[in-house]
Structure formats: structure tokens, C-alpha cells
């Protein structure tokens, strides 16, 4: 099993690193994949060392993709054609797609990747409007192959929901 967690300049660090940490504690391969060079800098100035660059792995096969939020991180992911190609491939193949905070709206919503699923996001009015009738307001929403969450406070529950969907158990 192999999971990709996307990072960009401006990614909310806890929303990306919590899933990486929890998934790796399950003994599962989890790659930090950057859309912003080898060392993207998060929204709070924390530099992250990527395992791979999106341009090198967007055609790879993953069992799940995790899309952290944060601004402008979500926008940077949404505007990266290779990231969008990977995410669309995951959606089309029915694989787990997990997005948190701004990313359900800015990445998935903007590219019409929600489908008939329910979703939640950071409760900014513009994000809620983007999700439209899919928006539930839940802290974490699991709907079909889509897992969404509302922000940093839900990062651990979001990470555990990803593990549950993949039928893997963290060791802590």
C-alpha cells in the first residue's frame, strides 16, 4: 500500500503532517509529494523536506491521496496541473481522496471532483458556497471514496478516518 500526501508552499502543516505521521505509524508507505520544489514552506514558516516532486510521480499508482489545506497552499495545489491529474485519476479509479480545510472547496470543488458525495470544509462563506449542496458542516465527513474535514482542529480525526477507510491501524 502507498499513500501520497501533497504539500505546497502555504500548506497548513498540521493538516499534512498529522496524516503522514499517523499513516507511517501504521507501517504503510506514505510519500510527502511536493508541488513547490524539494522543500516547501508551510503556512506557519515550517520547511518540509519532500520525498518526491509531483512532476516525477503524478502518473504513479497510489492507494490514497491526501490534500492538506492552508492558504495559499490549497490554491497552489489546485493550480498545479500534475497534482490535478493525479487527483482526478484517483477520483476516477474510486481510490480514497482525502481533503481538509480549504482543499475540499479550492481543489476538489473548483475542479468538480465532489460528484454525488457529501463534503465539509473550513467554514469560510466562499468555501461553503463552492461546495453548495454537498456541504454538511461536519468536522469530518466520509462519503463514498471521499474523506473531508473542516480544518486544523480535526487533523487527527481526519487522519484516523483515512486509516479506517484503508483498513489500517496506527500503532500508538
Domains of the chain: 2-166 (3.40.50.880)
| Residues 170 and 163: beta-carbon distance below 8 Å | yes
Can you say how many angstroms the Cα of residue 19 is from the centroid of all Cα atoms in its chain?
9
Q: Which residue is it, cell 474510486?
A: 94
Q: Which residue is it, cell 503524478?
A: 58
pLDDT at residue 171, as a whole number: 86
Distance CA 162, CA 64 (A): 8
Ranges under pLDDT 70 in the chain: none
Whole-prediction pTM: 0.97
pLDDT at residue 72, as a whole number: 98
Cα end-to-end distance, the chain, whole Å: 20
pLDDT at residue 29, as a whole number: 98
pLDDT at residue 172, as a whole number: 82
The conformation of residue 47, written as its DSSP 8-state character, comes to: B
Amino acid at each position: 500500500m502507498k499513500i501520497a500526501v501533497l504539500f505546497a508552499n502555504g500548506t497548513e502543516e498540521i493538516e499534512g503532517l498529522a496524516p503522514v505521521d499517523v499513516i507511517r505509524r501504521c507501517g504503510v508507505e506514505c510519500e510527502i509529494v511536493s508541488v513547490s520544489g524539494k522543500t516547501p514552506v508551510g503556512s506557519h514558516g515550517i520547511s518540509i523536506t519532500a520525498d518526491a516532486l509531483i512532476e516525477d510521480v503524478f502518473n504513479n499508482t497510489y492507494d490514497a491521496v491526501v490534500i492538506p489545506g492552508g492558504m495559499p497552499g490549497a490554491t497552489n495545489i489546485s493550480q498545479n496541473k500534475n497534482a490535478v491529474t493525479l487527483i482526478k485519476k484517483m477520483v476516477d479509479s474510486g481510490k480514497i481522496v482525502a481533503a481538509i480545510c480549504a482543499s475540499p472547496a479550492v481543489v476538489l470543488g473548483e475542479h468538480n471532483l465532489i460528484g454525488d458525495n457529501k463534503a465539509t470544509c473550513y467554514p469560510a462563506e466562499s468555501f461553503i458556497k463552492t461546495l453548495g449542496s454537498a456541504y454538511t458542516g461536519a468536522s469530518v465527513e466520509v462519503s463514498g471514496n471521499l474523506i473531508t474535514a473542516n480544518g486544523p482542529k480535526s487533523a487527527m480525526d481526519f487522519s484516523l478516518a483515512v486509516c479506517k477507510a484503508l483498513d489500517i491501524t496506527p500503532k500508538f
